[in-house]
């Protein structure tokens, strides 16, 4: 699937930090069972790539991607791990070049209108607004829709249960990213039922 097709699969993309490898599969399964199949596993821990591999092999229905991509070599590593897409906090010339040669859908991060325009010039029509609240949040997204209506965003950063619906109501928001559906304490306590319920609550709130 292309990146826009992936983003359309789920209104919320859980942003996941895996500290212990044994947490990966049950966490992913809990989120998928709750109705959120698109998962972003961030490269913030030493076990992240292995976690992506295990999720891709064991969790039916999961569309697992790699987040916090900051180096060119991580594209190929992500492909080998089984990632279905890649997400970065920004877009550098090095990452742009690497994404051109990698057979992996890519969602680059942007913060300002100039960065959005630059990414658009290079063919990107789906972007991650990050950090969303610091970039101006809903007001920024509304402002950018006028001159750049063809761009769709996945805003991430400062989005939670209390405001995600407001973001999803915007015409230029395809989905949102957030970690509130997989809180650290629930992961640490292996409370997979709570995580499944939080994911299901997202779906219920949008019905």
Residue numbers annotated as active site? 40, 128
Q: What are the CA-CA distances from residue 157 to residues 34, 59, 126, 163 (Å)?
A: 22, 26, 17, 11
Name every residue whose Cβ is closer than 8 Å to that of residue 100 and which is 6 or more positions away in sequence: none
Name every residue whose Cβ is closer than 8 Å to that of residue 25 and which is 6 or more positions away in sequence: 54, 55, 58, 59
Helix (H, G, I), strand (E, B) or coil at 81: helix
Name every residue whose Cβ is closer than 8 Å to that of residue 140 and which is 6 or more positions away in sequence: 129
The 8-class DSSP code of residue 143 comes to H
């Amino acid at each position: 699937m292309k990146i826009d097709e992936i983003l359309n699969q789920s209104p919320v993309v859980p942003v996941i930090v895996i500290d212990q490898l044994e947490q990966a599969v049950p966490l992913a399964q809990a989120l998928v069972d709750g109705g959120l199949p698109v998962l972003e596993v961030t490269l913030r821990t030493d076990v992240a790539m292995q976690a992506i591999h295990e999720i891709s092999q064991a969790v039916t229905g999961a569309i697992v991607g790699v987040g916090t991509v900051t180096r060119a070599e991580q594209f190929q590593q992500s492909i080998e791990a089984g990632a279905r897409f890649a997400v970065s906090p920004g877009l550098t010339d090095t990452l742009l070049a690497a994404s051109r040669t990698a057979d992996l859908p890519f969602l680059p991060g942007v913060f300002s209108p100039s960065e959005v325009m630059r990414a658009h010039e290079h063919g990107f029509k789906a972007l991650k607004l990050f950090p969303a609240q610091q970039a101006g949040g809903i007001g920024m997204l509304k402002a950018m829709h006028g001159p750049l209506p063809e761009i769709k965003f996945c805003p991430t950063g400062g989005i939670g249960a209390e405001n995600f619906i407001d973001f999803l109501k915007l015409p230029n928001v395809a989905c949102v990213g957030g970690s509130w559906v997989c809180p650290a304490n629930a992961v640490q306590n292996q409370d997979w039922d709570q995580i499944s319920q939080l994911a299901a609550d997202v779906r219920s709130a949008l019905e």
